[in-house]
A and B are shown apart, each in its own frame.
Chain A
Amino acid sequence: MTASRPASRRKSRLNPFVFPSDTSLRIILLFVFVIAADILQWSKLAIVRLDFARDLEKCLQGAPFFSMPIMQDLAKSQKCYTPLLSYQNLTIGLGLLLLTAATGTIYWWYPVWEARRLRLTPLDPAEAPGLSATLRELCVIAGLRHWPEFLWNPVNTSHLALAFGRGGTYRVGLTGALALLHHTDPAAFRAVLLHELAHIRNGDVERAYIAMALWWGFLLTAVPPYLFVELVSARSSFDAADAAGLLVEATLITGIVLFTRNAVLRARELYADARSFAWCRDEATFTRIFAGLRPVKGMRRLFSPHPSPARRRRLLDDTDEMFRFGFWDAFGAGAAASFIWVTFEFLVGAHFLQSLPMSMPIGTGTSFAVFVVPIAIWLPLVAGAASIAMWRTTLLALLRGETVRQVIRIAFALAAGVVLVVPTFLSAAILISATGGPAHQYVEQIAAPWSSILVAALGVTVLLTILLIGALVLFLQWVEACATSWLSVLLYSLSPRGPFWIGILVSSVLALSWFSLACIMFGVILYWLAVKHFSTLSIFWFLLIGNASFPANLITWVALVAFWGFPLSAGLWGLRGERKAYAEWPFLDAAPAEAPPIERPLRVRRALLIGLFGGLAAGVALPWLRLPLPPGALHEVGFPETALAAMIVSMALTSMAAQGAIAAVVALAVPKLLIPHAMFAAFVAGWLLTAAEALHLPTAMSLSSVVDVVLTPVVSGGALFALIVSSIMSALRLLADTTLGWLRSRHCACH
Chain B
Amino acid sequence: MDLSAGIVRFIESELTSPYNTVYTYERYFITKLQLHSALCTTTIAAVNQILAPLITKHSERFFCRIDDSHPLKSPSSIIDKILRSKEDAKNKRDKGEESTKEYDLNNFTAEITDLARFRVVCNFLSDVTEICECITQSETITKFLTVDKISNSIRQHKRITGERSVKIVLKRKSPPALFLEIQIMTQLQEAWDKKDHYLVYEKRRSSSKGDDDNFPTYLDAKMSAMAELLYVADDYFDQLRKEEVEVDDK
**A and B interact physically:** no
